[in-house]
Chains A and B, each alone.
Chain A
Amino acid sequence: MLAEIGVTTTFLAFVAALYALGASLWGARTRSEGTVLSARNAVFLAFALLLTACVVLMIALVREDYQISYVWSVSNPSMPLFFRITALWGSQAGSLLFWSFLLSAFAAGAVWLNWHNNRRLMPYVIAYTMATLAFFLFLSIFIENPFNRYWFVGTETLETALIPAGGVAPGDALLRDSANGLNPLLRHFGMAIHPPMLYLGFVGFLVPFAFAMAALASGDLSTNWIRASRRWALAAWLFLSLGLILGGRWAYDVLGWGGYWGWDPVENAAFLPWLMGTAFLHSVMIQEKRGMLKTWNMFLVIGTFSAVIFGTFATRSGLVESVHSFARSEIGFPMFAFWFGMTIVSVWLILWRRNRGELRDEHAFANIFSRESLFVLNNLVFGALFIAIFWGSFGAPIVSELFLNSNITLGTEYFQRVTPPLFAALFILMGIAPLSAWGATSLRRLGMSALVPLILAVASLIVFALMGMAEPIALIGYGIICFSGWVAIYETYRALMARVRQHGENPLQAFFALLQRNPRRYGGYLIHLGVTVIGLGALGSTLFQQETQQTMSVGQSMEIAGYTIRYDGFAPNQVAEDGRIMDIATLTVLRDGQELQTLRPRRDFFPNVEGMNSMTIAASRSTLQDDVYTILVDWEQTPSAQAATFKVYINPLVNLIWWGGFVLIAGTLAATWSGDTLPARSRKSLMVGATA
């Protein structure tokens, strides 16, 4: 029964999306308000139907309805309730349905909140969002249907299908006993949040994309589409940032290689839209403030969503192999065709409007040190990073396979060689750009503004040097990162002290008042500060990571970075509630003879799972200064495991990455909080109009 409800609601949602697409375009063409209104209601209906479909699949997972093949493949009787629920996005078919549901939610939200303010854009916004939704639902219904069931056809063949001719449902006990269970790598708290955050980030960029396309299609090329989609873009960017940070944390905890970012193609596929989206969020300010870069911003917003779809295609089609990717699927070609078609149509629309002279800039660039020039430079660096990472992840492997008959992988070595200069340039620009002014700034004035942050950065370096840091590369890197951080702190401090003097507020009150008065500026500074903190952590954990792998007998110790790691014992074959078998070692971390913490790195084995069925679970002692990260590599196959091999990493400052993430979230929320959605220019013109 659950499967029937799920299939019906998904199919009806598909029909509703197609109807909304057709009705919105017809309504726009015939200027029929009623038809467009009908299309809007179809958007809400699609959302409600997909919500029902997702709830139904979740109920099937919780109630262990193993005849549904998706439930059988991602759960088993020993799995706790929490992972049954997260199994909704644990494999291809379920995650596609979940993706479609989120997409419909964003579409419904965008239509609901902007209906009255942007009526001219709405039909086209509905058309673009529903075309995308209809495509994903097509995949969900015809290729990766999560409601397919197991049937016996004839006497022995077990098939997955909706309703096969002459099929007989297999016995519940047979399916229950053989249920596969969730991929062990996904049985982690981070996986409960990481995929939904990434999906929210991905589908969130559909809204700015749809508004941009609506502006091109309708001819309303004012800043209306930017105002309407700015918060959506910021929200999508926040979710994507959170998804990336949580993904890093998941990798750090679960993959057991001592790091959080491996330049894996799938990680990079999620990072590429973030790069393009960040460039867009900066560049769009130039259009709001100065009426410039209209064509460029269109390309950026299309590029961001195009990168989202390409990343989804790469992750889900089997184009790249990765621990993060889904299994190979038949959705590859349709997804590629959709991505290609969508990109071509969008670019054609831009060029068409541009050739009609409707995307001409209102101002020219007057000064190389103006803020808009520096933002353009920032965009160029983001673009170069995008190209370098895309090339390393997809370009070079595909080109070499297609034209040179060679299969290559570009690993960390490539990315660590190509990207650092570009990241350094980004941090420099992140420091300088906020000090410049719109329109014109002289080099002298810019230098004067940068003087105090520069002095503070040099002072920071002196402190680092006194603490023993001597490597020139590290000092240069930290100098650049500190400079950008000090700019954000110093600029906020100056404004804060001005408020304290002027209004007699205490610093905390003054800070919140500043955030309230100008959330975009001071939220932006908070975001920059968060990125600075992440940069400090990333640089420290990359340049100064230490590792060793040694075999110890019980009672023996190893030394690394001033720590002593003692092997205290081993507990093999411990059976957990969910049926996994754990081999657990006990280590004690000591410093100067004093015991600091007991760690229990372990190896989990999942006996009922096909394929990858063991996991190396690291144990670490975390402080702000560093992490002592231990992994159980191997052990003597005796009950007492008198000898075992451990890999130990010392990861300096790695926790700053997670703390920086919190600052970044706070800053983005503050910047999104703005009650004033109208830019100064528009508000001014409205006021002039009102006065007249």
Chain B
Amino acid sequence: MSVHNRQIQVFSPPLYLLRRLCPSVGVRVTAPLPRISVSREIISRSVLLLIAFAFVLAMPASAQESAITDDQVNAVASEMYCPVCENIPLDACATQACTEWREEIRDMLGQGYSSDEVKADFVRRFGDRVVGTPLDPTLRALSVVTPYVLAGLALIAAVWTVMRWRMGVKTSAAGVPELATPPVPEAESDSLRARLERDVAGGTGL
């Protein structure tokens, strides 16, 4: 398996401690280990190992089996875009770069990051282009609010236009000839009979 057949990755405090003690086991840990002297390191590692071992024994079986599934990774990746690919969501892109990013998401979810934290971390490193809607408040407002503002302006323009029409009708009632065409009588225009007769007789509709 080149990519997806991997070790079970569990996020839990004891396993996290185990990884800190033995970095070569399981997933990569990004945080640097603190510098401590050798003797103190041995003691502290032993203590941590004991604590971790106790926690592992106390863990329920279900928790030990809670791997990060591909579906969990894809749920986050589907809301992200790789900058080198062309507007394809990260969960659907087959390139090596996107595969590596998905694995990074898997690692982060395994370390207990939430979906939002994963996205925020990628945005911090690669910019707002990696998400479908920017996380930066200014860009987010610019992106999402602008169409509503424009739609609001369009609505205002529509209301204004309708009011002008109504004024036009009133003016026409007062006798301005070019606007004085009366509306088509409702009974004539809308009755089923009139329309059907036109259809049967071959008149143009719509």
Residues of A within 8 A of B (CB): 255-258, 262, 264-265, 285, 320-323, 325, 360, 362-368, 370, 373, 376-377, 380, 383-384, 387-388, 391-392, 395-396, 399-400, 404, 406-414, 417-418, 422, 434, 436-442, 445, 449, 494-495, 498-499, 502-503, 514, 517-518, 520-522, 524, 547-551, 603, 614, 616, 633-637, 643, 645, 647, 676, 679-680, 683
B24 proximal to A (CB < 8 A): no
Q: Are A404 and B70 also in contact (CB < 8 A) when A437-B186, A637-B2 are?
A: no
- B residues near A (Cβ < 8 Å) are 1-5, 69-71, 74, 79, 81, 86-89, 91-92, 94, 127-129, 131-134, 136, 138-139, 142-144, 146-148, 150-151, 154-155, 158, 161-162, 165-166, 168-169, 172, 178-179, 181-186, 189-190, 192, 195-196, 198-206
CB of B186 within 8 A of CB of A414, answer no
Contact A409 B132 (CB under 8 A): yes
Question: How many pairs, one residue from A and one from B, have CB atoms within 8 Å of each other in the complex?
Answer: 228
Task: Give the Cβ gap from B190 to chain A, nearest Cβ, in Å.
Answer: 4
- Shortest distance from the beta carbon of B65 to any chain A beta carbon, whole Å: 15
User: A412 vs B169: C-alpha distance in the bound complex, in angstroms?
Assistant: 44
Q: Given A255-B92, A422-B151, 17 more contacts at CB 8 Å?
A: A255-B88, A256-B94, A257-B88, A321-B86, A323-B87, A365-B162, A391-B150, A392-B147, A404-B138, A412-B89, A414-B132, A440-B186, A441-B186, A520-B206, A521-B205, A551-B70, A680-B204
Q: Which residue of B lies closest to A520 (CB)?
A: B206
Residues on A with C-beta less than 8 A from B79 are 411, 413
Contact (Cβ within 8 A) B94 A322: no
Closest to B167 in A: A364
Closest to B205 in A: A521
A650 CB to nearest B CB, Å: 13
Are A321 and B87 in contact, CB atoms less than 8 angstroms apart?
yes
Residues of B within 8 A of A438 (CB): 184, 189
Contact A407 B128 (CB under 8 A): yes
Complex partner residue of B139 from A400, A502, A603, CB under 8 angstroms: A400
Residues of A within 8 A of B92 (CB): 255-258
Question: What residues of chain B lie closer than 8 Å to A384, measured between beta carbons?
Answer: 147, 150-151, 154
A396 to B133, CA, bound (A): 11
Chain A interface, DSSP helix/strand/loop, else mixed: mixed
Contact of A645 among B4, B162, B179, B195 (CB under 8 A): B4
- State the Cβ distance, B124 to closest chain A Cβ, in Å: 13
Q: Label chain B's interface by main secondary structure.
A: helix
Give Cα A321 to B172, complex, Å.
54
A391 touches B147 (CB 8 A): yes
B177 to chain A, nearest CB (A): 11
- Beta-carbon contact of B147 and A388 below 8 Å: yes
Chain B residues near A524 (CB, 8 Å)? Answer: 206
A409/B70 in contact, CB under 8 A: no
Contacting B142 at CB < 8 Å: which of A257, A400, A411, A445? A400
**Cα–Cα distance between A445 and B187 once the two chains are bound (Å):** 10
Contact B71 A549, beta carbon cutoff 8 Å = yes
Q: Which of A373, A409, A614 contacts B87 (CB 8 A)?
A: A409
B204 touches A679 (CB 8 A): yes
Contacts A384-B151, A404-B139, A411-B132 given; does A417 touch B144 at CB 8 Å? yes
Residue on A nearest B198 in the bound complex, by CB: A518
Distance in angstroms from B184 CB to nearest chain A CB is: 3
In the complex, which residues of chain A have a beta carbon less than 8 angstroms from the beta carbon of B179? Answer: 363-364
Q: For A442, list chain B residues within 8 Å (CB).
A: 186
Check B172–A409 contact: CB distance below 8 A: no
B143 touches A547 (CB 8 A): no
* Closest chain A residue, CB of each to CB of B74: A549
Which residues of A lie under 8 Å from residue B142 when comparing CB positions?
A: 396, 399-400, 404
Name the CB-closest residue of A to B129: A407
B81 to chain A, nearest CB (A): 5
Say yes or no: A495 contacts B147, CB within 8 Å: no
